[in-house]
Amino acid sequence: MSTHAAPAKTAKTIPFIERHYFLLRRLHSLSGVAPIGLFLFPHLTTNSSIVWGSTLNQGKFGDVVAQYGSDAAGVATFQHEVDFIHNLPALVFIEIFVLWLPIAFHAILGVYFARTGKSNIDRYAYQGNYRYWLQRMTGYVGVAFIFAHVSSLRWGWTYGGLLPTFDAAHAASSTAAHMQDGLLGTTIALLYLFSVLCLVFHFANGLWTAAITWGLTVSTGAQRRWGQVCAAIGAALAVAGTSAVIGFVTLDPEEARQVEDQLAGQVTQPSASH
């Protein structure tokens, strides 16, 4: 600090990162697993509810299914999930302290650490070396994507109409309408899918390396077996993420909006439906 006199200079020459090196490294590792990584499960489960909701929740939303078909159950499930999240108490505090700050911390340190390495996949084309490189590349993609994703869909920045915003009252229909909005919609849908798959890989591979970092998997056999578990987790999340995009791209936005309005009407006038 500038208030310190000359003798404090020695302490000043040691950078903050060097002094708290272990703590920062391990907090970076931990934050990637929890809360950030764990958040992927409810997030991608919610997103893919547009697909699984249309089969699993047909009975629960029988009224709209009878009128509009099975897709309506997916729309209703997704809207139900979104309503649940938006009704969480102190949502913005959860977002700031469980999501945004940990993600910012993980991203800033991640970029700093990634810049200490120099990839050599051209010479050493081993599978593990490719994953080392991909972990860093998907990290960079993730930083850019998450910022665009949160700033547009949550904070409402449209970047001059380039990125869509999220209409929480018409969760499925607004998402489907944006993804089907001509060439721009297709581009955004494809970029979104690519980024989600990058982040799913980043999490699955990071879960594998974290077990080595913390010393949970020591033997080669243990690392291989945990690698298979991580690959399975990654595959499951990739299926969830991909199915969500397919679900929204193939959804009829007009009909979905009618379903949402009809269900919202039921909620606001509960006596009318009985």
Q: Which residues bind other proteins (CB under 8 A)?
A: 17-18, 21-22, 25-26, 116-120, 123-124, 126, 128-129, 131-133, 135, 208-209, 212-220, 223
How far is residue 34's CA from residue 218's CA, in Å, rounded to a whole number?
21
Work out how close the CB of 200 gets to other proteins at its nearest, in angstroms, rounded to a whole number. Answer: 18
Work out how close the CB of 257 gets to other proteins at its nearest, in angstroms, rounded to a whole number. Answer: 47
Work out how close the CB of 128 gets to other proteins at its nearest, in angstroms, rounded to a whole number. Answer: 4
**Closer by beta carbon to other proteins, 62 or else 117:** 117
3-state helix, strand, coil in the chain (%, to 5): 80, 0, 20
**Closer by beta carbon to other proteins, 15 or else 59:** 15
Work out how close the CB of 241 gets to other proteins at its nearest, in angstroms, rounded to a whole number. Answer: 24
Instruction: Tell me which residue of 31, 81, 38, 32 sits closest to 57, measured CA to CA.
Output: 81
Q: Are 20 and 13 in contact (CB under 8 A)?
A: no
Work out how close the CB of 11 gets to other proteins at its nearest, in angstroms, rounded to a whole number. Answer: 16
Instruction: Tell me which residue of 96, 85, 106 sits closest to 34, measured CA to CA.
Output: 106
**Closer by beta carbon to other proteins, 3 or else 220:** 220
Q: Are 193 and 241 in contact (CB under 8 A)?
A: yes
Q: At residue 196, what is the residue type? A: V
Work out how close the CB of 137 gets to other proteins at its nearest, in angstroms, rounded to a whole number. Answer: 13
Work out how close the CB of 112 gets to other proteins at its nearest, in angstroms, rounded to a whole number. Answer: 12
**Closer by beta carbon to other proteins, 4 or else 20:** 20
- Count of beta carbons in the 10 Å neighbourhood of residue 171: 24
Question: Residues 200, 202, 203, 205: what is their CA dihedral angle, to the nearest 10 degrees?
Answer: 110
Angle, helices 182-213 vs 21-31, to 10°: value is: 130
How far is residue 48's CA from residue 171's CA, in Å, rounded to a whole number?
13
**Closer by beta carbon to other proteins, 93 or else 214:** 214
Contacting residues for 194 by C-beta, under 8 A, at least 6 apart? 141
**Closer by beta carbon to other proteins, 132 or else 157:** 132
**Closer by beta carbon to other proteins, 22 or else 155:** 22
- Count of beta carbons in the 10 Å neighbourhood of residue 199: 24
